[in-house]
């Protein structure tokens, strides 16, 4: 049997598949179900400070082609449950779940809230912390979430503050809504983060009802810029992971549009040591993970990989600047052939 266990940020996980932070990691029932189904790790729904969150309703929207989900939008905030409720949740989780728990936290614009939450999570048995510097809606308006993730100096300061106040490893969750994600990852690394998670959702609008001139989702006649997830963002996530892999030595958890085991392998080959899935777990639950693990084992068998390290980053190492590609181009583009790629007749 091939080895799919992984050491990520100095913590050992039985396999690289994590349930990412979101509604499917928002209470003990779901978290215990994910553990029993065979997931390797769980990132809790982001836990917050004293401000009571109430997400807007409706908060979800979908973009489909031939019934297949292409993209998903959410306007969900962090958990609506208060810290004392999470106190109770953590007791249940810690007594039932035997895989490492990664607590996702988000304070406000004041350092002290981040430190308080970090210590709270460490005291309750979290094995790692994920700092949510990535939520693109609601939170940036009060100078947290993606607002922090968009400012390299703030990423450095907040990360350093948390790193120096707890003993457990810190993972920084990055927003893709920046000019150059590798520069932000570098700041997290310089501040002492063991790993980064890339990517959080991409800021977007899921569609417009053209009969009514209504942006979607329709929130009482209005809408807002939400976070896009699902298959549409996988190319953005792959590029982010590859850029970070090539320019830092921080470990990476890849997330964004992982809808089957092959998507997960793509992320690993671009440099991710672990992978996370959220939108797909909202649609399909948790049970498919045994199938993904089986497929991963047989893929490794077929390719002769004895452990995950054998494939981490192998595709990333083939990424080059445009100038280099011009030199290695073999022939002029055959435009008809390229159009056949667009039509789906050739896999490009």
Ligand X SMILES: Cc1cc2nc3c(=O)[nH]c(=O)nc-3n(C[C@H](O)[C@H](O)[C@H](O)COP(=O)(O)O)c2cc1C
173 binds ligand X (CB under 6 A): yes
Look at the alpha carbons of 12, 13, 18, 20 in this order and tell me if their dihedral is positive or negative: negative
201 binds ligand X (CB under 6 A): yes
200 binds ligand X (CB under 6 A): yes
Residue 280: which residues within 8 A CB-CB, separation 6 or more?
230, 258, 259
* 3 state SS of 233: helix
Q: How many residues bind ligand X (CB under 6 A)?
A: 28
Q: Residue 134 or residue 305: which is nearer to ligand X going by CB?
A: 134
State the minimum distance, in angstroms, from the CB of residue 200 to ligand X.
Answer: 4
Question: Which among 4, 34, 47, 135 is annotated as catalytic?
Answer: 135
* H/E segment holding residue 291: helix 289-303
Query: Are 214 and 221 in contact, with CB atoms under 8 Å apart?
Result: yes
State the minimum distance, in angstroms, from the CB of residue 25 to ligand X.
Answer: 8
Of the residues 28, 138, 152, 230, which one makes contact with ligand X according to CB under 6 A: 230
Stretch that binds ligand X, among 113-121, 226-234, 291-299, 328-336 (CB under 6 A): 226-234
* H/E segment holding residue 43: strand 41-43
State the minimum distance, in angstroms, from the CB of residue 74 to ligand X.
Answer: 4
Q: Residue 11 or residue 146: which is nearer to ligand X going by CB?
A: 146
* Subset of residues 9 to 68 that bind ligand X, contact rule: CB under 6 A: 20-23, 45-46
Question: Which of 198, 293, 272 minimizes the C-alpha distance to 236?
Answer: 198
Of the residues 126, 244, 250, 258, which one makes contact with ligand X according to CB under 6 A: 258
Q: Residue 242 or residue 277: which is nearer to ligand X going by CB?
A: 277
**CA gap 97, 42 in Å, rounded:** 10
Of the residues 144, 229, 242, 253, which one makes contact with ligand X according to CB under 6 A: 229
Query: Are 51 and 82 in contact, with CB atoms under 8 Å apart?
Result: no
State the minimum distance, in angstroms, from the CB of residue 282 to ligand X.
Answer: 7
State the minimum distance, in angstroms, from the CB of residue 329 to ligand X.
Answer: 33
State the minimum distance, in angstroms, from the CB of residue 242 to ligand X.
Answer: 17
Beta strands, E only, 206-345: 207-209, 214-216, 226-229, 251-255, 274-277
Torsion angle of C-alpha atoms 143, 174, 168, 95, degrees rounded to 10: 90
Buried b (16+ CB within 10 A) or exposed e, 288-314: bbeebbeebbeebeeeebeebeeebbe
Contact map string, positions 124 to 143, toward ligand X, x by CB under 6 A: --------x-xx--------
Q: Residue 207 or residue 310: which is nearer to ligand X going by CB?
A: 207
- 135 belongs to the catalytic site: yes
Give the interface with ligand X as residue ranges (CB under 6 A): 20-23, 45-46, 72, 74, 76, 78, 104, 132, 134-135, 173, 200-201, 229-230, 233, 255-258, 277-280
Catalytic amino acids? 135
């Amino acid at each position: 049997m091939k080895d799919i266990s992984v050491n990520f940020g100095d913590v050992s996980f039985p396999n690289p598949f994590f349930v990412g932070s979101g509604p499917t990691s928002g209470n003990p029932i779901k978290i215990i179900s994910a553990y029993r189904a065979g997931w390797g790790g769980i990132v809790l729904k982001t836990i917050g400070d004293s401000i009571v969150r109430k997400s807007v309703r409706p908060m979800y929207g979908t973009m489909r082609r031939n019934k297949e989900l292409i993209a998903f939008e959410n306007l969900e905030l962090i958990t609506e449950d208060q810290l004392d409720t999470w106190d109770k949740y953590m007791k249940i989780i810690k007594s039932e779940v035997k895989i490492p728990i990664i607590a996702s936290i988000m304070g406000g614009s004041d350092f002290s809230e981040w430190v308080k939450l970090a210590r709270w999570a460490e005291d309750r048995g979290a094995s790692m912390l994920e700092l949510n510097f990535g939520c693109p809606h609601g939170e940036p308006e009060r100078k947290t979430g993606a607002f922090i993730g968009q400012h390299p100096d703030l990423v450095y300061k907040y990360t350093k503050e948390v790193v120096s106040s707890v003993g457990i490893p810190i993972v920084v969750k990055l927003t893709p809504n920046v000019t150059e994600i590798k520069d932000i990852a570098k700041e997290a690394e310089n501040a002492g983060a063991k790993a980064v998670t890339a990517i959080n959702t991409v800021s977007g609008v899921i569609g417009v009802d053209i009969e009514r001139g209504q942006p979607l989702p329709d929130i009482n006649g209005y809408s807002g810029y939400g976070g896009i997830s699902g298959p549409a963002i996988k190319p953005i996530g792959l590029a982010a992971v590859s850029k970070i892999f090539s320019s830092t030595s921080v470990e990476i958890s890849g997330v964004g549009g992982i809808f089957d085991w092959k998507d997960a392998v793509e992320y690993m080959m671009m440099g991710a040591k672990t992978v996370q899935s959220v939108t797909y777990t909202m649609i399909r639950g948790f049970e498919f993970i045994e199938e993904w693990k089986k497929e991963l084992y047989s893929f490794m068998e077929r390719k002769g990989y004895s452990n995950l390290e054998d494939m981490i980053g192998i595709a990333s190492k083939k990424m080059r600047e445009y100038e280099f590609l011009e030199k290695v181009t073999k022939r002029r583009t055959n435009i008809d052939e390229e159009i056949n790629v667009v039509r789906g007749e050739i896999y490009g």
